[in-house]
Chain A
Amino acid sequence: MSADSHQFPLQEWLPQVIMIARETGEEILHYYHGDKHLEVMEKPDTTPLTEADLAANGVVVEHLRILTPDIPIISEESEIPPFELRQSWDTYWLVDPLDGTMEFIQGNGEFTVNIALIHHHQAIMGVIYAPVDDVVYFACHGNGAYRRIHGKGLEAISCRELNMNHFTIASSRSYTTPQIQSFIARLDEDHELILRGSSLKSCLVAEGGADLYPRLGPTSEWDTAAAQCIVEEAGGQITDLQMQPLRYNTKDSLLNPQFFVFGKDSKDWSEFL
């Protein structure tokens, strides 16, 4: 992590970014609970895009602009600036206003608001908010990772140490591939499986509820950035299949490589691919 990340008042921004995530989540809930009419459209890449996505995007972008007028924003639901422009950015907000659109449409509540601050290709702040259960996960560089569950106080969270006698894998509810299944089959015969939507899978690793979340399929940078800061501050890692930490805004495409999320004292998971 670069030393000059401390040029930003991260501690001062963090509570405000949490507020923004909450307000965005509340906007989404108006649609989720049906107060506002929901139109499901097809995005060009065929993932369903709801009006809730767009409304959430409006809230998060507006508030981040007020908080830091000089820091640019990349959001899943806004037009993406070309790489020629954004490659000169040292620092920017990377946002997925509604991660888990499938979970939203299916009505299982496991969708999140994701806000990350990227500096020199690394996530130095991350906030993930799950509005249905009113749970927020957050971290900023050097200050540990935290969780606040509705009705409970603030708790520090940390990844657990790997124990193969009680090995737990987090995996997607809406997404499974033969590669994932054969990877899991090579890992260990005896495991528990916890299925979650959206970035809540990474949060599960960060709070010590699972040892590994393997993602052997496509994701975008806004799907992992906030989670990466939280997982790293909780003592874990998000790496590509060569076990190198994911980096941001290094290329034209905003697609991530396939990746692993894992906790403390972990293995070289690439050996099982």
Chain B
Amino acid sequence: MPKTPKILSTKTLAQTRLFHIEAMQLQFSNGVEVEYERLKSSSEGGAVLVVPMLDDDTFLLIREYSAGVHRYELTLPKGRIEAGEDPLYAANRELMEETGYGARHLQHLTAFTLAPGYLGHTTQVVLAQELYEERLQGDEPEELEVVPWRLSELNTLLACEDCTEARSIAALFMTREKLLHER
């Protein structure tokens, strides 16, 4: 593997409440210098995506308004990890806020990036099992619809036009593989 390019300098091109666009002056190991741009991750802890298993086959999705595409999307529960918060606790908190369930068993599965070419954001994927009913008040503007689905019917879910989020789809396939393997 080649040596990681050296960052010669960075500067902020734009900063809003959510986004931080940064220019990086880079020098590659062969001496070539280039300017790249990236969206820097603004939150310290990143984000967490939860796969909540109601039983061995049934998982929970939420239907949430997604401003980026301006429509309701079926996704796994997710949210920001607060500064200093353990990702597994963050997962349980988001789960209680968005679905009204807490988990007694939480397990880190993997970390995803989305478009690592220009996005600095990382999403921690957490498998949540042994669910029980518990609701926490979150900052969602409206109550979210919770949609149970079966791992054995994942292909039907992919055919739904409102289930397009790549992280959720990848996390569900990983979970299905893991649980099949464990059985």
Identify which of A11-19, A80-88, A183-191 touches chain B: A183-191
Q: Which of B92, B108, B132 contacts A108 (CB 8 A)?
A: B132
Kindly state the separation between the CA atoms of A91 and B86 in the bound complex, as whole angstroms: 42
Q: Does B51 contact A (CB under 8 A)?
A: no
Kindly state the separation between the CA atoms of A185 and B132 in the bound complex, as whole angstroms: 25
- B102 near A176 (CB under 8 angstroms)? no
Q: Does B56 contact A (CB under 8 A)?
A: no
Query: Would you give the 0/1 interface string for B77-105, flagging 1 where the beta carbon is closer than 8 Å to chain A?
Result: 00000001110110010000000001111
Across-interface contacts of B104 in A (CB, < 8 A):
173, 194-196
- A192 near B105 (CB under 8 angstroms)? yes
User: How many chain B residues have a CB neighbour from A under 8 Å?
Assistant: 15
Nearest CB of B to A105, in Å: 13
Across-interface contacts of B108 in A (CB, < 8 A):
189-192
Interface size class of A (residues with CB under 8 A): 10 to 19
Across-interface contacts of B106 in A (CB, < 8 A):
192-195
Chain A residues 160-185 with CB under 8 Å of chain B are 173, 176, 178, 180-182, 184-185
- B92 near A195 (CB under 8 angstroms)? yes
Kindly state the separation between the CA atoms of A189 and B111 in the bound complex, as whole angstroms: 11
Query: Would you give the 0/1 interface string for A203-228, flagging 1 where the beta carbon is closer than 8 Å to chain B?
Result: 00000000000000000000000000
Nearest CB of A to B35, in Å: 33
Kindly state the separation between the CA atoms of A43 and B102 in the bound complex, as whole angstroms: 28
Query: Would you give the 0/1 interface string for B104-115, flagging 1 where the beta carbon is closer than 8 Å to chain A?
Result: 111110000000
Kindly state the separation between the CA atoms of A255 and B132 in the bound complex, as whole angstroms: 31
Across-interface contacts of A181 in B (CB, < 8 A):
84-86, 89
Query: Would you give the 0/1 interface string for A37-73, flagging 1 where the beta carbon is closer than 8 Å to chain B?
Result: 0000000000000000000000000000000000000
- A191 near B102 (CB under 8 angstroms)? no
Across-interface contacts of A176 in B (CB, < 8 A):
89
- B132 near A192 (CB under 8 angstroms)? no
Q: Which of B89, B102, B107 contacts A192 (CB 8 A)?
A: B107
Chain A residue with minimal CB distance to B132? A108
Chain B residue with minimal CB distance to A197? B104
